[in-house]
Structure 1
Amino acid sequence: MYYWYYPYYCPGCYYGPVYPSVRQYPPVDPDFFHQSANEMKKLMQDVSLVLDKLADSKEFDEQVMHAAQVADQEEVERLIESAGISSAVEITFNPDNIRLEFSSKIEGEDCCHISIALRWR
């Protein structure tokens, strides 16, 4: 009778040492990542401007909601941009909420996005 120290016995199986494969990784370049982080800070400032405007003025909120209710996309965009933002923002809305997607590019390449959704119903 054979007593094997592994959980099961497998005749003909090799249980020798297993060496991890050696992988070569390219050197890292943090420049784009660093620029993305700085662009994200700018996006966060723009999000903060919009949220401050929405939180401070019920009159502004009413204007945005009314324009959305009558499906006036241009007016909703104009109102949101009037908060003083400098970033590109894509605005979508429905009877329940509004979604704002802020995005930025570095040298023509997408680098970062922030999405916020606010319910009004």
Structure 2
Amino acid sequence: SSGLNPLAARAGGVPPKRMVIIAMLMSGGVGGLVGIAEIMDKGRYDPNFVGFLGFNGISVALLGRNHPAGIAVGALLWAFLDASSDILQVTGAAPKEIVDIMRGVILLTAVIGYEIVRRIRVRDEAAQAAARLAGVAA
């Protein structure tokens, strides 16, 4: 809760500034370890090797709605599409860019679907609250 409500975190005994710094240090450390592993694998730095990782990470997080199980399923789907694009390229069945189009369609569908569900939920909650208030007033 330190990022969303620092007052509540402080009231609960959690120092919000310290938690933010610890989270940043940990994420930077994990990123550094991944970078070291990538460089050690190739033996040199390639400035083009991370061009798509940010998009993939954000896409997987959106698909999984920031839930660990959902992110795991989204990551498996993205990995499957990655492997499929290589197979499509080798066999010549379809251009590799088809997978990029599929990813875009999947991502747009998921985001639009989540927004529709959210709006329906908000509308239903407002209707229930209005019904409760009408029952209290009567």
User: What TM-score bracket applies, with the shorter chain setting the length?
Assistant: under 0.3
Kindly indicate whether structure 1 or structure 2 has the higher relative contact order, using CA contacts under 8 Å at least 6 residues apart.
1
Q: Which has the higher strand share?
A: 1
TM (normalized to structure 1)? 0.27
Q: Which has the higher helix share?
A: 2
The structure whose Rg is larger is 1
